C-alpha cells in the first residue's frame, strides 16, 4: 500500500523481572515496596508489539509508529533511554501510575483518550498493537478495551504472526487451544492485534535511530498530560502479601501411581 499504516503500540514500563517484588499497602492504595526505586524495563509483550510494528512500518512506505505509554514521567524517561535506539517511533506519554494493581478498565480509558488526541492519526489506516498480557497488568483485556473505545471491532488477542499481501489484506495467526493457530484474514485496517510472542528478534541498538527518537521523546515527556488511574475505582484490596512457600516431603517406596495421584489431589484440595 502506498499510503502505509498508522501503527499505535500500547506499551509501558514494568519493574525489572529479575527484582524481588514485595507488595505493600500504602496511603493511596496497594503498591510495591520501593516501587520508584526499582529498575524498569519495557513490558516484554509490549516489546514484541513494538518490534512487529516497526517491521510493518519499514515494509510499507508512508507508515508511522506511535508508542503510547502510561507511567510516571521520570520513569518513562529512564525507559526511553534504553529502547529509543531499537526502532523508530513517536512517543505519546501519559503521566500517571504504572502500578499493576490498577484495573484494566481505567488504564484503557486513559490510553484511548491519549490516542484520540494524536492530531495526525488516520483512523482508516490504524493498526492498534499491544501485548496479549503484561508483566504487571496481567488482565489480558487492555488492548480489547482500548479497541472497543476506538470503535475497532476486528480484534485478535493472541497473535504470533502478521502478513500483508500486495493488495493490503492482513492475515493474522492467532493462538488457539491445542497448540494450533487460527488464521484470519482482514481486508484492511482498522484492527487491533494483541501480540503473544511475535516472530521477530529484538533489534540491535542503532545510535542514529536513538538520536532521531530522542528529539521527539523529550518534548513528548514535557507536555505529557497527567491522569489519575484507579483513584476513584471500585476495586478494593483487603490485604497484600507474598505467596507462602510450603514444602512437605514424605519418602515412600512401592506406592502405586494411582495412590500417589490420589494423595497429591487430596493435598491440593486441603
User: Above 60 in pLDDT, residue 234?
Assistant: no
Query: What pLDDT is recorded for position 6?
Result: 95
Question: What is the CATH architecture assignment of 6-226?
Answer: 3-Layer(aba) Sandwich (3.40)
Assign 138 a pLDDT band (cuts: 50, 70, 90): low
Q: Regarding predicted confidence, which is higher, 31 or 141?
A: 141
Assign 1 a pLDDT band (cuts: 50, 70, 90): very low
Least confident among 25-29, 117-121, 231-235, 261-265: 231-235
Q: Concatenate the DSSP letters of all residues of the chain into one string.
A: --S--EEEEE--EEE-TTS---EEEETTEEEETTGGGS-EEE-HHHHHHHHHHHHHHHHSTT-EEEEEEEE-HHHHHHHHHHHTTTS--EEEEEES---TTS-HHHHHHHHHHHHHT-TT--GGGEEEEEESS-SS-TTS-HHHHHHHHTT---EEEEEEEEEE-TT--EEEEEEEGGGEEEEEEESSS-EEEEESS-S-PPPPP-HHHHHHHHHHHHHHHHTPEE---STT-S---S---PPPP-------SS--HHHHHHHHHHHHH-
User: Above 60 in pLDDT, residue 3?
Assistant: yes
Query: What pLDDT is recorded for position 8?
Result: 94
**Domain range list for the chain:** 6-226
158-166 mean pLDDT: 88
Least confident among 119-128, 183-192, 233-242: 233-242
Taking a C-beta distance cutoff of 8 angstroms, is the pair 25, 16 a contact?
no
Amino acid at each position: 500500500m502506498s499510503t502505509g499504516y498508522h501503527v499505535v503500540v500500547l506499551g509501558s514500563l514494568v519493574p525489572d523481572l529479575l527484582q524481588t517484588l514485595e507488595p505493600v499497602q500504602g496511603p493511596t492504595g496497594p503498591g510495591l515496596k520501593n516501587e520508584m526505586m526499582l529498575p524498569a524495563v519495557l513490558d516484554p509483550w509490549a516489546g514484541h508489539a513494538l518490534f512487529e510494528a516497526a517491521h510493518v512500518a519499514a515494509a510499507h512506505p508512508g507508515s508511522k509508529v506511535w508508542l503510547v505509554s502510561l507511567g510516571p514521567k521520570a520513569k518513562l524517561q529512564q525507559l526511553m533511554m534504553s529502547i529509543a535506539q531499537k526502532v523508530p517511533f513517536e512517543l505519546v506519554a501519559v503521566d500517571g501510575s504504572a502500578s499493576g494493581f490498577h484495573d484494566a478498565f481505567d488504564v484503557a480509558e486513559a490510553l484511548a483518550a491519549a490516542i484520540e488526541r494524536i492530531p495526525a492519526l488516520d483512523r482508516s489506516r490504524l493498526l492498534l498493537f499491544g501485548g496479549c498480557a503484561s508483566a504487571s497488568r496481567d488482565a489480558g483485556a487492555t488492548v480489547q478495551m482500548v479497541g472497543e473505545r476506538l470503535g475497532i471491532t476486528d480484534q485478535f488477542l493472541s497473535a504470533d504472526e502478521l502478513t500483508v499481501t500486495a493488495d493490503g489484506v492482513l492475515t493474522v495467526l492467532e493462538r488457539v487451544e491445542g497448540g494450533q493457530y487460527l488464521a484470519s484474514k482482514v481486508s484492511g485496517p482498522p484492527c487491533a492485534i494483541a501480540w503473544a510472542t511475535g516472530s521477530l528478534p529484538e533489534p540491535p541498538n542503532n545510535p542514529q535511530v536513538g538520536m532521531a527518537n530522542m528529539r521527539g521523546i523529550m518534548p513528548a515527556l514535557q507536555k505529557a498530560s497527567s491522569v489519575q488511574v484507579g483513584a476513584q475505582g471500585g476495586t478494593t484490596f483487603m490485604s497484600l502479601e507474598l505467596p507462602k512457600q510450603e514444602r512437605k516431603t514424605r519418602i515412600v517406596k512401592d506406592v502405586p501411581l494411582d495412590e500417589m495421584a490420589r494423595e497429591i489431589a487430596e493435598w491440593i484440595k486441603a
